[in-house]
A and B are shown apart, each in its own frame.
Chain A
Amino acid sequence: MNHLNEEQFVLYYYGEGDGATAVRAHLDSCEACRAEYASLQRVLNVVDSVPVPERDASYGTQVWNRLQPSLKWDRPGGLSWWPARLWPARHWAAATLVATLVVAAFLAGRYYPKAQSGGQTANAGQVRERILLVAVGDHLERSQTVLLELVNAQPGQSLDVASERERAGDLVAENRLYRQTGAHRRYPGGQRVGRVGARADGNRAWAGSAHAGRSGKPAAAHRRRRHPVQGARSRVDDAASRRKGRAPGRTGHRPKYLIGKQNV
């Protein structure tokens, strides 16, 4: 086994380090290291023996007496330049409380509007969707009116459809716009609106109306069946009801017109 080095001797002497047991075992078995360690012990014991001038029991009092004039007990540990009597500790506590409240108010003001603006963004989306539904509902209602006027015209009777034709032309353009908007927005209600617009029969109906002659006879086919525009209208109403939390089909909005022979 290797001999111990000086660092190991020193640590062992002071009881530091973790190898005390191994050092002890080595010292027991190695005479050279034992002699070396004994030499170190002698030197350090000599250092220990150097006397220090002792102070008697009254030394603490002497120190205190010299110290006392320098200590100001109305503000232990305080700053010597601060007029503590003018600004006592309870004022500090009050000032700290006020400062805390100011900081809290500042932080609340700083962060609260952010949360609110997030809510406003969410609300803005809902409002946009609601406006779109109302606009589409209105569009479909006007479409329905035009078609019903055509459908309910007396057969065999000449009819001036110039104004209807003009409105039908506008409605075709609007229908395209709503279809594009609904497809672009991609929310459930919008998709429904998009599907309405995408339905070829709706557009075909408008195209037929818009391109009819100035006067003409209503198509018999439109009389007997529920017109696609009315179906789309009711789907839009259902979507609006769901937004309001009501059951679909119970919108409270009843069609003003019935198709075909069930005029009211």
Chain B
Amino acid sequence: MDSLMELSDSVAVAQARAGDSGAFHILVERHSRNLFRLAYRMTGHQQDAEDVVQETFLRAYRQLPKFDDRASFGTWLYRIAANCSLDLIRARKRRAAQTEGVPEEGAPDPMQSLPDPSPAPDRLAISGEVGRKVAAVLDGLSEMERTAFVLRHYEGMCIDDIGHTLGVQPNAAKHSIFRAVQKLRRALEPLVSSAS
């Protein structure tokens, strides 16, 4: 296993394609934590982030034969994780929209499917008002703005790659980042100014 750990991503991918489960295990070990971080930034929830990581590796496994060897495996995984996160956020929004309708008699209490208004345990870990404010602003961004901003700001991905990941023109990705920064500034500037 130690010798396997030294494998580069491309070699591990090739061996995993050939049916070597150990090589895929290496890839999972190597990228899980980074994917969790990205998924958490995207979803804002620990459990959702865990699900995204799981789903990302499952999709990667299924699509392994389609992976282009010339690309970076890490970037490819990030793209899958971003899409999984977006799918999850959309599903969450759909569920929330459904609960806004008039409940039928005998139907389960829609309040049970609503997101818990109280801060999740992981949110409690974010100390202070700034942390909560940032989380709230990020939650208020559109899918595109949030994904583009997370990939640019936290993951350091260049705008061209973000456009490629999101399936949009680089210009659209760039404007999504601008809008996200504007919203963050508008919400956080008074707080930051008063603190300084």
Contacts and interface: CB of A to CB of B under 8 A. Distances in A.
Interface stretch (B56-64, B78-86, B102-110): B56-64
Contacts of B3: none
Interface of chain A: mostly helix, strand, loop or mixed: helix
A108 interface: no
Contacts of B158: 16
B61 A76 contact: yes
Given A50-B126, A77-B63, A77-B65, A40 B32 contact: no
Interface residues of A, number: 36
A55 B126 contact: no
Interface residues of B, number: 55
Given A16-B158, A55-B32, A63-B54, A50 B188 contact: no
Nearest to B40: A52
Contacts, number: 116
Nearest to A14: B152
Interface of chain B: mostly helix, strand, loop or mixed: helix
Contact of A76 (B64, B122, B131, B188): B64
Nearest to A57: B33
A42 B58 contact: no
A10 B125 contact: no
Interface in A39-80: 39-40, 42-44, 46-55, 59-61, 63-64, 66-68, 70-71, 73-77
Interface of B: 16-21, 24-25, 28-33, 36-37, 40-41, 46, 53-54, 57-58, 61-66, 122, 125-127, 130-131, 134-135, 152-154, 158-159, 174, 177-178, 181-182, 184-185, 188-189, 191-193, 196
